[in-house]
Structure 1
Amino acid sequence: MIPKTNGRRCKMFPSSHSGTSGSHPEGIDPSLRHNALAHRLVRSDALPGAHKNVVFDCTQTERFGLRGPGTMDWLGSTGVSAPAAVNTTLTLPCGTSVLRLGQQEVLLAAPPGGSGARLRELRKAWQDSELPAKGYDAYRDEGWAWFVVSGPAAPALMRRISMADLRPESLKLAHLAQTRALHLDAVVARFDRFGAVSYDIFVDIASAPFALDVLTETAAGTHCGFQFAALCATK
């Protein structure tokens, strides 16, 4: 639902994603990418407790999106489980999240703050696969910004940023909505991270600064003490 853009982001692992390594299908030099929010948020590698209200920018955390014919066949060939229904999710034992966005469309995301090693393995396996149809790279790591809203007041904040009913009793755990949020087309997934009700929000990366403006102003209006940070990936 979110349109593909040419937005670029800085990779956290230049040694394994260099422009000459061939690990990226376009051979893009990661030094040319940047995080549009880097100058606006403090960086943190500390995960919050269940009682802390937080908004994390997780845009630099690894993710990998595929779409098109053969996507689900390839995923099955790797032994990776996939959600049975569109607009549902599951979490693998390694912590990787699998979001099913369409009959032949998935997004795989490392756990917020995680190293993303498993995602890099899967990307390499996809590149090396000889299946005649295996989907194609949807460039979700470059085209989508990623925020995580978590804490006891998370539902109250979500209620203010979307007209969709995103209450925990409506958007169940392990479900997602392709909807409008932050005045943008968005994918909103329910993952109860850090022991609290949590929402992953994916929006067009070109609109990330605007989305952060809306989140900041709206969170302040809840008077719930939301803390903002860019969550660093572990190495």
Structure 2
Amino acid sequence: MAPLVEVKEVSFKYGHLQVLERVSLTIEPGDFLAIIGPNGSGKSTLIKIILGLLEPTEGEVFLFGQDLRHFHDWYRLGYVPQKAAHMIDPVFPLTVEEAVSLGLLSRKRFPRLIGRADRPAIKKALETVEMAPHGERRISELSGGQQQRVLIARAIVSAPDILFLDEPTAGVDARGQDRFYGLLNQLNQKGLTIVMVTHDISVVSRFVTKVACLNRRLYFHGSHEEFCSSPRIRELIAGEDHIIVHRH
């Protein structure tokens, strides 16, 4: 199968600050890829470039074989940005179903109205993340873990081919994180390609199939097994107190 994403020799600068330097990688159908690296290593920047939110200083990106500059089928990509749950207004009376319905707008043309015909897709997305019983609740009333599940539902309601998540468990307790990663694993097992920026090194061992280690440059990109057996593993993840490298 052709790659879903091809990043070719991509570099990026914020002013004079070099954030990414000649990064190349591919994302294949069915991957569960973890992008890891220290703070400021360019992980979030790389995701934003792939999603067309930032323009690379140099290099090219191809989505589904098409040059990013000419790509328009954005419904094929789902995205949960960093600290997305923190953006929820505790006062605005947005229900869970209404929040999920916003994910359908990328498939619609002007005037982009949500109607009765969209309800099955919204219901299916909520059932997938086990949040269907909470559809009428205000999203601000939910726990951090529940809010993250709703954000996943919003990202997958348009039936994307690939889901990007940037530090998705920030602010979620340990129990909520375990359930959240279990949900991502189920989605991946059903065929959804997942790309996740994470500092949680333990998740690398439990669920992902591939790892990309980034620190301005791409120092490693390969299978989980290759990552675990790499003699440079501690050099690649400098500063971590411990690294779990076996699946449980």
TM-score, normalised relative to structure 1: 0.27
Report the structure, 1 or 2, having the larger helix content.
2
TM-score, normalised relative to structure 2: 0.26
